[in-house]
Amino acid sequence: MRPLVFALSTMLVLAGLVSACSDDDPVASSADAGSDGATDAGRTTEAGHDGHDSGAVDPGPRPIRCTDEELAENDMTDGGALVVTFLKTANPKQYENRCATVKVGASVTFTGSFTQHPLQAAGGDLPNPIPYTAEDQPDDKLVVTMTTPGTFGYECEFHPTLMFGAIRVVP
């Protein structure tokens, strides 16, 4: 009798799992939204990576986390090189030169450990030229040429509340 009860119990549990995992329900749960390229509050997500292209439609510009004053403070429109630095260790610390203004055609160099602090686009105008970068780069440097006017936000994927910035690009 005991083996029969065990077998029936196992079948009921498996039947419950199969029905819970079926695709019959056309409405996706909120837990599904983060892994299927859905848009969450204006952010494109793919496999947990906010801010880079998953093919979902993005509703447009999102707020950046640098004020106009902060962007103007670090005015590099005279042709100076903009280098945004961050730590090569796992400890989160705000980017140096995190808010700045450059001219179209300027090169911005991000330098640090991209494995410890993956770089991703975060707010501002679209398309954002700052690529999602999660692997360390040669000499720990990623150079991005700013070819279009706009304001482009960025952040650390792992520490978005502690590590963020923006670059304003002017004609």
Looking at this protein, which amino acid is placed at residue 75?
Answer: D
List where CATH 2.60.40.420 sits in the chain: 68-170
Note down pLDDT in tens along the chain; length 171 residues.
Answer: 555 444 445 444 444 433 444 444 433 333 333 333 333 333 333 334 444 454 455 555 678 999 999 999 999 999 888 999 998 888 889 999 999 999 999 999 999 999 999 999 999 999 999 999 999 999 999 999 999 999 999 999 999 999 999 999 999
Q: Partners of 169 in the beta sheet?
A: 102, 150
Write out the two tokens for 45. 């997500």
95 to each of 4, 73, 132, 133, 165, how far by Cα in Å?
63, 15, 16, 15, 7
Per CATH, which fold does 68-170 belong to? Immunoglobulin-like (2.60.40)
Per this entry, what is the length of the chain? 171
Q: What is residue 61's predicted lDDT score, i.e. its pLDDT?
A: 61
CA distance 95 to 138: 19
CA nearest neighbour of 110 among 126, 89, 131, 80: 131
pLDDT at site 40? 33
Task: Supply the pLDDT for residue 89.
Answer: 84
**Which are the contacts of 105, defined by CB distance < 8 A and separation ≥ 6?**
145, 146, 147
